[in-house]
Amino acid sequence: MTQVSMTVNGKAASGDVEGRTLLSSFLRDQLHLTGTHVGCDTSQCGACVVHVDGQAVKSCTMLAMEADGSEVSTIEGQAGADGSLNVIQQAFQDHHGLQCGFCTPGMVMSAAALLKENPKPSEAEVRAYLEGNICRCTGYHNIVKAIMAASGQDVGAMAAE
In a domain, 158, yes or no: no
Give residue 115's domain range.
87-150
Task: Give the integer Cα–Cα distance in Å for 91 and 87.
Answer: 6
pLDDT band for position 159 (cuts 50, 70, 90): low
Quick one: 31 and 55 in the same domain? yes
Quick one: 60 and 123 in the same domain? no
Quick one: 7 and 29 in the same domain? yes
The H helix count followed by the E strand count for the chain is 5, 5
pLDDT band for position 160 (cuts 50, 70, 90): low
Decide if 37 contacts 47 (C-beta within 8 A).
Answer: yes
- Kindly report the CATH number assigned to the domain that includes residue 24: 3.10.20.30
Task: Give the integer Cα–Cα distance in Å for 11 and 100.
Answer: 29
Task: Give the integer Cα–Cα distance in Å for 79 and 81.
Answer: 7
pLDDT in tens, 23-34: 999 999 999 999
Q: What is the mean pLDDT of residues 103-118?
A: 97
The count of domains in the chain is 2
In a domain, 24, yes or no: yes
pLDDT band for position 158 (cuts 50, 70, 90): confident
| Residue 147 DSSP label | H
Residue type at 34? T
- What is the predicted pLDDT for the residue at 155? 85
Please determine, for residue 58, whether its predicted confidence score (pLDDT) is greater than 60: yes
